[in-house]
A and B are shown apart, each in its own frame.
Chain A
Amino acid sequence: MQLFQLNEQRYLICLKKRYSWEHFKKLIKVSPGSYSEEFAKGLYSSVFYYSNNLGKEYRKFYQNEYENIYRFMFWRYGVSEEICAQLPSAASDFLAVFKAGWQMEDDDLLKDTFIAIFSELDK
């Protein structure tokens, strides 16, 4: 798992693949109906539902316009060349830009928790 902050709100995440909610729920072990489950759902949805899946978006809408996905990411999302160089293989992985609606920037603990969960998920 790799996480890059693009601006105050937007993050770029790179995972080996897209994970199901069932898989995610099993990993973080939240009680059904609890606040933690609500929170986990929010976290999961931000990354997997409400995010922009860059690989998919590139292939569907921009492939003929930009010579490669990195140019697309640079111009459409402001992903720097330095970040692109650190990505393993953008075309085959799950690569998404999502908004951290839960103020991850101001909360280091939240950010650390996020990184821990998604790193574990992507092991």
Chain B
Amino acid sequence: MVLEGIVSWFIAFLFEDKEFKERLIFSVGNKYKRISNRLDDYTRQEIDKEKNSKKYIPDIFVEATDVKEKLRYFSEPFIFFRKIIEQTDRELMGAYIVSVLKQVHYPLNEITYPKISLKSGNHESLKENVQSYAAYLGQKHTLTDVLIKEGGAGIKPELKSKIPSNFSHIHEYMYPNLQFYGSYEWAINDAKADLDLLLSKVVINKSIAGHGKTNLICDFTENFLLRKGHKCLYISARSLNHLGDQETIEQAIIRTLFTESDFQFSDILRLTKYDRNIDFLFILIDGINEHKNLPLFSAALEQFIQRCSEYKIKIILTCRSEYFDDRFGNLLHIHNCSVIDMDAWKYNNHIPDVHIETLLSRYFSEFKVELTVDNVDPDIMEDFNEDKLLLRIFCEAYENEQPAIYLDDLYKLEIFYKYYEKKIAAISGLENCLGVIISIMLADNQFSNIHLSRLPEGAKKVVENTVYENVIIKKDVIVNPDLAFGKTEVINFVYDEFRDFLIASKVINEWDRDNQSGIKKIQNLASPRKPIAEGLQRYLCLWSIKNKKVDLLNYLSTLDWFDTIFINSVFNTPDKLLSGFVFEMIRGIFNKNSSNTVRIVWRFIRRANIDAYPNLNISLLFDCLNALDDNEYQRIVVEALSERYDYETTHITHLCILIVQAFKEHRVLEGSVKNIIKLLAYLIGIADYSYLRVRQSELGKYPASQALDIVVEELGDDFVKEALTEVISNSHAESVKSSLISYLRLMGEE
């Protein structure tokens, strides 16, 4: 500092020119080094903060979405311009429509390829080259103008004469293929959007809550910008909450970065000017919707961006979609501004399995969930991939715990309950705040968009302090288009099912206090077509099963919707929580109608292993089947399983196909083998008359019998005989017994 002061004084003495003076200080002093280091340090420190709060979990941002690639284009236009060209040229050359046009010998106009000569670091040269390639693409786009397009296929009639006469016959049979020009036009449109990104100075990544904006921007900062030596400043919009009415974002940034008043934003600008290693300074502002004063911040941000446009600065912002359209629409008018909608279909391509495994693995290790990916059922992995918020809730709920040795069931009530307990223990006032919100919802009969102003101050404070996590509650903006000043901030649950879980709990409390009042609430809220009916029904059943509320379940069983929801709820409850009254209710509804029967049969197939499910397992299904006489068996079981499963098969065939596949692929666990064979035995006489119509019916008229043959081939006679004999001695249905006796006799003869 002393040396710097002396140098500065000496230079000031010698020269009046401030720019010259500063440039000399840049060369010989420490000032700009300190600014440069502070930018790096602050960015690293903020990224670490996001890691600690688990808003950013490294290595889970999977690249199949291509959003990160777009940010690369934006950040390194000189490098990635080449890639866009190579990629687009390749896609256009290989486009299906081009090959078909060649095959019909339609003369393709040769378009002169632009001369691309990019001078690295020269922005004018970049602009010129990008524009000339964009113009070339515009010309290439005209290729599809020769097609009929809407409502037809082929070359336009007036242009068909351009095909040489000796090849005109080819068009006659190939013309239907001349309607598949989508990939060609998409390639051009995508390339044009990519070219815009190269020249953009601002890019806004928007998506709905919980879709990984912070993860994207932190990953990009850490693993791209910092790793490649770019100068950048990562800052969350929340840390600019102190922005004053008369203050600029530049001043707020300086106040955030430096404790001393020696530096100004103009010093940062000078750094980008003097330091030849800096191509751009990247300023990344995460969660612009999370700023506490949106009108002030949005206006300040617009002015800030406008001022930065003159300098070597590129700005990356993230924002929740709902807020962006409403509160930050002003940014769209800024020149050279691009928006990436992370929820757009083109960014939601299928994620490779290896990335799903990595994603889960990283989540488990971050939250110290004692589970490895190898011990997660593939269906559950897919569920987690589809619903990252559920994955997050699961991991928080089971932090430092082992949820299961092998995870093949997701008991949501248990997950939510653990999560709720942990959250209310960790966040002071949260229990009360959630209670207030649920009470308002019930009182107003409105389950979304609760006005923030309705909350008492204490609850409001809890919302403000927790909302940025976007896990339990989120703030939204609603607009009344018929009113001036019609924009209102409201709160919603991020995860609707979690809201229903809490509402159901509140309704059960009401039932406990006063049955009649509880009934009124249930009739009002859980009847079909009511907004929260589906979730409420489910959680009423789940809570009642867990808490052994027989009286409430008896009441619920009088309601039309009960059976289906109850069956699903029983199987979505951990086995250890199930007891006798649940089994009696299952027995009671098993033969009430065919849809109950089918649903229960399908559910019990996954519970063939008695050791894994000591309480509720396939034995109960066998008890239900054994209790039926022949008439009941025909009327209930045969009728139910003969019904269509989908447009090409019946339940009986589909079920048997899956069982056969499982045996062939050796997926049937040892503890389940005998019970699965017994199930096939109970179903042996059920015919599938659709087998003649269905082209690929593998199992013929009697699928269970055929399936048994295959199992015999796989496992041998003895095992099957023993299982069949047990069914013969227990079943009361004569048709089952006689079919099995015949089957055994045939087995003996062979």
Contact = CB atoms under 8 A, between A and B. Distances in A.
Interface stretch (B196-204, B221-229, B378-386, B677-685): B221-229
Nearest to B103: A38
A75 B63 contact: yes
A61 B80 contact: yes
Contacts of A75: 62-63
Contacts of A64: 227-228
A105 to B, nearest CB: 14
Contacts of A68: none
A21 interface: no
Nearest to A77: B352
A80 interface: yes
A78 B354 contact: yes
B94 interface: yes
Given A60-B83, A61-B83, A64-B227, A6 B93 contact: no
Nearest to A10: B352
Given A6-B352, A65-B224, A76-B63, A49 B79 contact: no
A5 to B, nearest CB: 11
Contact of A7 (B72, B103, B350): B350
Contacts of B72: 61
A109 B91 CA distance: 27
Interface of A is mostly: helix
A80 B228 CA distance: 25
B694 interface: no
A58 B80 CA distance: 12
B352 A50 contact: no
B212 to A, nearest CB: 15
A78 B223 contact: no
Contacts of B354: 74, 78-81
Interface centre among B91, B227, B352, B355 (most CB of A within 10 A): B352
B227 A78 contact: no
A45 B94 contact: yes
Contacts of A77: 352
B228 A50 contact: no
B64 interface: yes
B665 to A, nearest CB: 19
Interface string A60-94: 11001100000000111111110000000000000
B242 interface: no
Contacts of A6: 352
Contacts of A7: 350, 352
A50 B89 CA distance: 9
A35 B385 CA distance: 44
Interface string B57-87: 0000011100000001000000110110000
B635 interface: no
A50 B94 contact: yes
A113 to B, nearest CB: 20
15 contacts: A6-B352, A7-B350, A38-B103, A42-B99, A46-B94, A49-B93, A50-B91, A50-B93, A61-B80, A65-B224, A65-B227, A74-B354, A78-B64, A78-B355, A80-B354
The 10 closest A-B pairs by CB, nearest first: A78-B352, A50-B94, A80-B354, A75-B63, A64-B228, A78-B354, A50-B90, A61-B83, A78-B355, A76-B63
Given A65-B224, A81-B354, 20 more contacts: A7-B350, A7-B352, A38-B103, A42-B99, A45-B94, A50-B90, A50-B91, A50-B94, A60-B83, A61-B79, A61-B80, A64-B227, A65-B223, A65-B227, A65-B228, A75-B63, A77-B352, A78-B354, A79-B354, A80-B354
Interface of B: 62-64, 72, 79-80, 82-83, 90-91, 93-94, 96, 99, 103, 223-224, 227-228, 350-355
